[in-house]
Amino acid sequence: MITLTEAAAGKVKELLVEEGRDDIALRVAVSPGGCSGLRYAMYLDDQLSEKDETLDQFGVKIVVDKMSVPYLSQATVDFVDSLEQSGFTIDNPAAQGGCACGNSFH
């Protein structure tokens, strides 16, 4: 399933400390939309379902809904903090193509 880098896990842990809760998971999903047909969604979520697949990496609980699993099976979530960009990135070799904005794929 999806891979979380140590840098991304560290940033998620920081966000969880800010929230003051330890019952929240990082949800990564794929939803219809964007100029290429599908787009990524990533957020902290405390609403887990038996339809979700969960795993723990570097002490962070990651949740992916069953519909999104096939699209994210080879994806890697990283956190980049450089002069050029700052934020979470998703590298997905399974995506067949993307758009110029980098926010959607097919």
Q: CATH no. for residue 66?
A: 2.60.300.12
pLDDT of amino acid 32: 82
Residue 106 lies in a domain: no
pLDDT of amino acid 106: 44
Residue 11 structural domain: 3-99
Residue 60 lies in a domain: yes
CB-CB contact of 68 with 43 (8 Å):
no
Q: 35: pLDDT confidence band, cut at 50, 70 and 90?
A: low
- Beta strand 25-32 with 38-45 is antiparallel
How far is residue 43's CA from residue 41's CA, in Å, rounded to a whole number? Answer: 7
pLDDT of amino acid 98: 52
How far is residue 12's CA from residue 28's CA, in Å, rounded to a whole number? Answer: 12
Residue 31 lies in a domain: yes
Residue 105 lies in a domain: no
How far is residue 84's CA from residue 17's CA, in Å, rounded to a whole number? Answer: 27
Residue 91: its H or E element:
strand 86-91
Q: How many domains does the chain have?
A: 1
Residue 67 lies in a domain: yes
Residue 104 lies in a domain: no
Averaged pLDDT, 15-25: 90
Distance of CA 87 to the CA centre of its chain: 12
Residue 93 lies in a domain: yes
